[in-house]
Structure 1
Amino acid sequence: MKTAALVLCAALLAGCATLDRDARLRPGESRDADVMAIYGPPTRVWPEPGGGRTLEYSTQPRGKHCYMVHLGADGRLIGVEDGLSPASRARIEPGMTPEQVSRILGNERSRVFYRNSGEEVWDWTIEPEQSGYGMRFNVYFKDGRVLRSGQSMVFPSRFFGLDD
């Protein structure tokens, strides 16, 4: 009975692993096939200079992470980063193109165009700085370039499922 309980606990803990903390994936050893065997097909695949690739695993619209799995030209794992981490979000600068933003942050939660200002706003669900509300990271584009970025709070709705 104890053995069955230990096996169940180990299986549950393995199911909680995230790409950036998964002990089964080892830089320099693990390959693209290993990543895809565990996490399935990526949201997108980005080609990198020198023949490498970045596998994008976005959890949008409801998740708060976008794991970018960097692979060398030989298909071996170089490293994993969360594209929606504060450090990654800080890399977004005025003048960047939509593709440059997507390569850093991954697939967005939504896009809205505001006709009066001529701005298109993309947003991502991100980890809040404290509990009690949701948080979004917003990137404002005008004429195909980043104008500015910022954060907005999403307060829970009194109506279930209507706080998107």
Structure 2
Amino acid sequence: MKLTTRFLSTVFLAIGCGCTTLFPAAVNIGDSEQDLIAKRGQPAHRYKDGGDQLLEYPLGPWGQKTYMARVGPDGKLISFEQVLTNQKFASIKVGESTKEDVLRTVGAPVETSYLSLTDLEVWSYPYKESGVWNSVMHVHFDKAGIVRKMLNGPDLRFDPDRRFPFGGL
């Protein structure tokens, strides 16, 4: 009986610890940057946007969510939003936006590649298109770092018809 109680205690402790990572503490507008970091940890990246700081928090093993925290010059949280969305991607202007603009809008890419025939660098962002479909947005940059095109399509990691969905043989 003691062994069963000890086993169950260990299982419940493990579940309890896991919940803190699965469900991080809520952040509130007006929180200090120190409060934000205490609740969410150190950001993956920081970007300057005028007088504000943007703190990037990518989430999940599939990389489909990235939260961007905007902290004002006074060190207080102005906004905290999920940025891998149709609306945010639509705000990136082809022929105008730069790599820095894209980083401040949707954060760092999950993957980068280079297309030698078109001489374009591609940044790829897995996301839930319209909050439903497993998709990837590909942002193409020329040598000057200007967005030249954007293409989205299905995230093949989730395609049940692919024989080797994760690149293995």
TM-score bucket (shorter structure): 0.7 to 0.9
CA distance in 2, matches of 1:80, 1:114: 34
CA contact (8 A) 2:129 2:135 kept: yes
CA contact (8 A) 2:85 2:129 kept: no
Could you say which residue in structure 2 is the equivalent of 1:148? 149
Deviations 1:41-97 (A, max 9, x none): 1011112323x3111112387221111101111211111122211111111111211
CA contact (8 A) 2:128 2:134 kept: yes
Q: Are residue 162 (structure 1) and residue 167 (structure 2) matched?
A: yes
Runs of 4+, deviation exceeding 3 Å: 8-18, 128-131
Q: In the superposition, relative to structure 1, how do residues 145 and 124 fare at CA in structure 2: closer, same or farther (>3 Å)?
A: same
Number of aligned residues = 154
Q: Which amino acid aligns with 1:90?
A: A
Could you say which residue in structure 1 is the equivalent of 2:66? 66
Q: TM-score, normalised by structure 2?
A: 0.75
Q: Are residue 38 (structure 1) and residue 44 (structure 2) matched?
A: no
Task: Decide which structure has the larger Cα Rg and report it.
Answer: 2
Identity of aligned residues (%): 24
Q: TM-score, normalised by structure 1?
A: 0.77
For structure 2, the residue ranges without an aligned partner over 5 or more in a row are 1-8
The alignment yields a C-alpha RMSD, in angstroms, of 3.0
CA contact (8 A) 1:58 1:66 kept: yes
Could you say which residue in structure 2 is the equivalent of 1:81? 81
For structure 1, the residue ranges without an aligned partner over 5 or more in a row are none
CA contact (8 A) 1:120 1:142 kept: yes
